[in-house]
Amino acid sequence: MIEFLGEVLAWFGDPDSWIGPAGILNRLREHVQLTAAATIAAALLAIPPALWLGHRRLGGTFVVAVVNIGRAVPSFAIVVLFLPISIRLGLGIGFWPTFLALLFLAVPPMFTNTYTGVAGVDPDLVESSRGMGMTDREVLTKVELPMASPVILAAVRVATVQVAATATLGALVGWGGLGRFIVDGFSVRDNVLVFAGAILVAGLAIFLEVLLGWVERRVVPTTLQSRSDIVETVVA
């Protein structure tokens, strides 16, 4: 075991592991870029309708159904399923099937968490805002949105970490990213590569979780922080 860990360390110490198109730095760049692209796209798709529906308190049953089914859909299956779909759409292998799968997986939790955050704002508070003469739009932007902001931020954090985790599986459908080391390591039975890849992938996920959690605590007023407990989390 000590010997094995020595080999893993030696792999990390080798400059060749870091540079070039198949090096750690390039794989990390690919991984982070795809994660950012998919998370931002999912946020743009999910958050505006969720804000509006949450504001109207419409579609609660639908939201519960989405949460329950969303958890039951295996992310591995979705990544694989989007490969033939992407090919049939003429988008090929690699980036697109991974991107579309990540989008598909990130939109539901982001939508439902935002919805729950807005719809869960104390009705008395909304009522008094209206009583003070706020317009519909002001109630949403000046009361509901700030009150729901911790939940929305937590939803973005959870989605980002989930997307980064699932992006690992993109290596199975021809995408690069850090998952490449694990998948390639499996296929050539190179345990050092597998283990090193696992360290990189797990390190990135934990780093993102800690970083975004820290940003959240800095941005969200302490009085609102406990509300983020209701956020749905998913393992990828």
Partner 1 sequence: MIHLAQTTGGFFSWEWVFNHLDDIWDRTVEHLILTAIAVTVGMLISLALSLIALRYRWTYSPITWVTGILYTIPSLALFAFLVPITGLSILTAEIGLVSYTLLILIRNTVAGIDGVPAATVESARGMGYTNRGLFFSVELPLALPVIIAGIRIAAVTTIGLVTVTALIGQGGLGFFILRGLNLFYSPIGTTQIVVGTIVSVALAVIVDLSLVGIQHLATPWSRGRAAA
Length of the chain: 236
Among the listed ranges 42-50, 55-63, 108-116, 162-170, the one in contact with partner 1 (CB under 8 A) is 162-170
Among the listed ranges 79-87, 114-122, 147-155, 218-226, the one in contact with partner 1 (CB under 8 A) is 79-87
206 binds partner 1 (CB under 8 A): yes
C-beta of 152 vs 205, nearer to partner 1: 205
C-beta of 36 vs 44, nearer to partner 1: 36
18 binds partner 1 (CB under 8 A): no
C-beta of 145 vs 167, nearer to partner 1: 167
Q: Quick one: which of 15, 21, 226, 235 contacts partner 1 (CB under 8 A)?
A: 235
75 binds partner 1 (CB under 8 A): yes
156 binds partner 1 (CB under 8 A): no
d(CA 134, CA 37): 36
d(CA 13, CA 24): 12
Q: For residue 106, which phi and psi values (nearest 5 degrees)?
A: -90, -25
Q: Quick one: which of 50, 107, 165, 231 contacts partner 1 (CB under 8 A)?
A: 165
Tokens of 137: 């739009």
CB 23 within 8 A of CB 176: no
C-beta of 117 vs 179, nearer to partner 1: 179
- From the DSSP assignment, how many helices (H) and strands (E) are in the chain? 10, 0
Question: How distant is the alpha carbon of residue 54 from its chain centre?
Answer: 21
b (16+ CB within 10 A) / e for 34-73: bbeebbebbbeebbeebbebbbeeebeeebeebbeebeee
Kindly list the residues in this chain that would bind partner 1 in the complex (CB under 8 A): 1, 4, 68-69, 71-78, 80-81, 83-84, 87-88, 92-93, 161, 164-166, 168-169, 172-173, 179, 182, 185-186, 191-192, 194-195, 197-199, 201-202, 205-206, 209, 233-236
